[in-house]
Structure 1
């Protein structure tokens, strides 16, 4: 049996073997909590409960977490928020966060990455956008739950989805692409411009996206260039086990992508788990819950269709099709210079070690027909700080909002 055929089987066997142990640990943690009598609780009991709790929470999940939006503040009012699916496909849902208000606001589609996590990872991005905008998101589905009969999903199909989603949202909308889908979002906008599609976005915001990874290559970029596409296919692609709806679909497993993310900052994750043990053992409920919430989201992984992953590696990171003018969509050449009616904003992080300075800004030169274009370099943030956290809310978001406001008039 080849290594390729063993990846998912080994993971599934390990998960199955650990399931009873995690259930027992969950019972042990509950028992320790029930026996906790406050300051007189013996330290060994709390340490036992902490160890059990960490083991119980150590497994991965493969279901999308909740976005958790029930309301948002608009000025002095708090309005209800409801998740409203607007279009559903086998691979993703156009999801609207509909607010209970009659106020008409700019419609914005957030293009989420397909990179091993669900779109809920952009919860913080959406939360900041919600008060001022009518927000939609590309809510991608786990490929292991999509039957083979539903066909393939590659780079072209991602672009197809963006175009269709923009058409459903309607003319005069705006598009924000976070990280990986920046290339697809630019391609979709160019294709719509070339076709004279009236639904082409009024503004396109590209945030920390790999438009041209030849600029200041990072370790991620170097890894993509270090191996042939055949190596990636042989070592990182496997078939979904028979027990799932997507049985025998070839995928890039989400647990492999998570392993890659963790390995990039292994010391930080180890220290975070040591701190979690101390928090649980000392009864620091607030710190323990914050850790648990973060890693519950971080450990919710989704498999990517193999064709999408391999095409992304080859076309974007190895062959640089977009900056070299060779990118195609269903055989048609993608021409960024055809974009004229869409304003363009690029955003980068000063300390981004995934998508370095210059890689996203390259879109400004490619879109030579765009008259209204801006760039923002956010100081003091890494990759995730561009679109989540306090700096995103205080310093980056005002630039995004200003671009949308100007072009929405």
Structure 2
């Protein structure tokens, strides 16, 4: 009922949003003399701020149509190479010259935690010059009909295994934040049964492998409330008339509210600054604000069963580091991993996955040879900076590229296996 009321409230504001947009257009039009005055720009800024803070943000586009390979610009096209009801696997196909030596195949597993995969646009863009990049494009649960069935953490792990099979041998997998646990579980299960499609390398970035280490506010909330509280308070039915009407979901707007409340003062200041940029006619800074919040405020729903199973397994029971995690009745044993090189990355100021939580994977994967395990902590970045931004591009990406190049199985003859000294520096 609460979700339906939320939708009705959004619909009720539609006339006001339309009026605000009309006012913004009127007072931004250069033919209107008031648009050249501080008063006119203030009216336009107020109208735009109201419209932006009350709208529903749709799924953004990746918008990556070109990159640079071998110092030459090449075109990039998106294509779906694998599909299931809750996920599409997108390849960013680069128009490289025929006969050129193939770059590593990279599977980026995007988080299914409220935002769309486009949140990793910068991650994809930074890796495109060096790899044949694929990314998991998770589907908004409210858009999946109930007839498509359930989707839980076990299904998530199955999807990862199926995608690795679809991509073939010598694929490299990168998990950003939430997927670190299911990716590690998937690789452990594949190794335990001798799967020939096990990835060559596994890069885990800012993930909650063991949330008992340096617990953050997110981790403490889960432990304090317990799984029953989440089941009773945050699970709702998708409202009419969306395709997934009647499906139990964890609404994206609740996840967004939680994230924003953690840094509410920062968001208030950002919107105040946006208003002043508009009044001062500072178009560049205003556009940066729009670009960031167009992405940040675009959220998707998760299936209730996936969300609850993840909270209970990862944040309440700490099942993976305790050796108690199971997938369809089979225990997940990271010690089974022997042939997959492991690279873990953390941010010094990460307030979502605290320092040490991702590095915990190094201790769990006891049978990976020491020269195939690397950990790197990036100074002066928070959670977002682990996979995006200038420091990511300048300091983390070269280490990832060096790592996957060094341990790619097809490059064993051409590139001597080595310890990635740069990533350990």
TM-score (norm 2): 0.93
**After the TM superposition, which residues 26-175 of structure 1 pair with which residues of structure 2 at under 5 Å, given as runs?**
26-35=21-30, 41-61=36-56, 63-101=58-96, 102=98, 103=100, 104-175=102-173
> Do residues 25 (structure 1) and 20 (structure 2) align?
yes
**Alpha carbons 1:348, 1:360 under 8 Å: kept:** yes
CA separation of 1:359/1:36 partners in 2, compared to 1, >3 Å: closer, same or farther? Answer: farther
- Map of 2:299 onto structure 1: 301
Which runs of 5 or more structure 1 residues have no equivalent in the other structure?
Answer: none
> Do residues 313 (structure 1) and 317 (structure 2) align?
no
Deviation for aligned residue 1:365: 0.9
CA RMSD of aligned residues (A): 1.3
Deviation for aligned residue 1:394: 0.7
**Alpha carbons 1:60, 1:300 under 8 Å: kept:** no
**Alpha carbons 2:28, 2:35 under 8 Å: kept:** no
Cα distance between partner residues in 2 of 1:12 and 1:181: 30
**After the TM superposition, which residues 214-225 of structure 1 pair with which residues of structure 2 at under 5 Å, given as runs?**
214-225=212-223
- Map of 2:401 onto structure 1: 401
Deviation for aligned residue 1:44: 1.5
CA separation of 1:62/1:87 partners in 2, compared to 1, >3 Å: closer, same or farther? Answer: farther
Tell me, what secondary structure is at the counterpart of 1:132? coil
Once the two structures are overlaid, the 10-residue window that deviates more, 37-46 or 291-300, is 37-46
Deviation for aligned residue 1:288: 1.1
Tell me, what secondary structure is at the counterpart of 1:58? helix
Cα distance between partner residues in 1 of 2:58 and 2:152: 22
**Alpha carbons 2:60, 2:118 under 8 Å: kept:** yes
Cα distance between partner residues in 1 of 2:84 and 2:265: 40
CA separation of 1:46/1:105 partners in 2, compared to 1, >3 Å: closer, same or farther? Answer: same
Which runs of 5 or more structure 2 residues have no equivalent in the other structure?
Answer: 412-425
Q: Deviations over 1:72-130 (max 9, x none)?
A: 01132111100010011110101100001133110000011111110000001111000
**Alpha carbons 2:117, 2:138 under 8 Å: kept:** yes
- Map of 2:5 onto structure 1: 10
Cα distance between partner residues in 1 of 2:104 and 2:37: 57
- Map of 2:350 onto structure 1: 352
Cα distance between partner residues in 2 of 1:36 and 1:47: 17
**Alpha carbons 2:27, 2:34 under 8 Å: kept:** no
Cα distance between partner residues in 2 of 1:60 and 1:263: 19
Cα distance between partner residues in 2 of 1:39 and 1:49: 10
Question: Between Structure 1 and Structure 2, how many residues are aligned?
Answer: 404
Cα distance between partner residues in 1 of 2:85 and 2:308: 20
Cα distance between partner residues in 2 of 1:403 and 1:36: 56
Cα distance between partner residues in 2 of 1:51 and 1:36: 20
Deviation for aligned residue 1:56: 1.7
**Alpha carbons 1:251, 1:305 under 8 Å: kept:** yes
Deviation for aligned residue 1:35: 4.7
CA separation of 1:39/1:23 partners in 2, compared to 1, >3 Å: closer, same or farther? Answer: closer
Once the two structures are overlaid, the 10-residue window that deviates more, 80-89 or 10-19, is 10-19
**After the TM superposition, which residues 330-345 of structure 1 pair with which residues of structure 2 at under 5 Å, given as runs?**
330-345=328-343
Deviation for aligned residue 1:63: 3.2
Tell me, what secondary structure is at the counterpart of 1:231? helix
Deviation for aligned residue 1:191: 0.8
Once the two structures are overlaid, the 10-residue window that deviates more, 14-23 or 178-187, is 14-23
Q: Deviations over 1:195-239 (max 9, x none)?
A: 111111100000000000001111111001011211101110100
Tell me, what secondary structure is at the counterpart of 1:131? coil
Deviation for aligned residue 1:42: 2.6
Once the two structures are overlaid, the 10-residue window that deviates more, 97-106 or 143-152, is 97-106
Tell me, what secondary structure is at the counterpart of 1:83? strand
Cα distance between partner residues in 2 of 1:190 and 1:292: 41
